[in-house]
Amino acid sequence: MTWTVWLSLLAACVVISFTPGAGAINTMSNALAQGWRRSLWGVLGQQAALIVHVVIVAAGVGLLVARSPLLFEIIRYAGAAYLIYLGIRLIVAKPDPQSMERIGRAREGAWSIFRRGFWVNLLNPKAIVFFLAFVPQFVRLDRDPLPQYLVLVGTVIVVDVLVMWFFFAAAAKPFRRFTRDARGLRILNSIFGSLFIAVAALLLLVH
């Protein structure tokens, strides 16, 4: 991969990562509930899903998903259902002051945060179709594909981690004072729960 192609890839990754979506909402929600440092586990989960998406495209399965309306719809509805589940769970959650830490939030396991980030990104069929269109722009078939895929995946992950953790997670910091009491936490949970449901609606309605 030449420097010109890589710089184009870098620019594309930056634009894509800054585009708000379920991953950004999940990152900000984690940062509010668990703190900036622990939100990294969710970001890493989202990166694991991105790796799976690229592998799916490289293996040719992405083309199958793109050409199979039934398979695409199954994944699309599964992804929307999971986002709705996350949204409803946030909205109906009742913070227990006795179980909240001194900074006003209950501690969640790293694996749980990682797993949620993974499924948020994985259950998005549009991501598979997107990578199906995105990857061929930067991978030349007349050259060894493995180094090219490694550079592509590495660039995508580094850029997305930096944007998610240092922009979206950091952007949630000013609002963390609302998590110090049960009422403020309920309000924030309702806001982010509604955003998850809104993203699910877009996933279902926008084709």
Q: Are 124 and 203 in contact (CB under 8 A)?
A: yes
Q: Select from 158, 126, 162, 164 the least CA-distant residue to 9.
A: 158
For residue 103, what pLDDT is reported?
43
Q: What angle do CA 162, 195, 126 make, to 5 degrees?
A: 65
pLDDT tens-digit series, residues 13-40: 888 888 778 889 999 999 988 889 999 9
pLDDT of residue 99: 45
Q: What is the dihedral of CA 56, 60, 62, 67, to 10 degrees?
A: -160
Q: What is the mean pLDDT of residues 2-10?
A: 86
Q: Where residue 166 falls among pLDDT bands split at 50, 70, 90? A: very high
What is the reported pTM?
Answer: 0.79
- Between 85 and 43, the more confident residue is 43
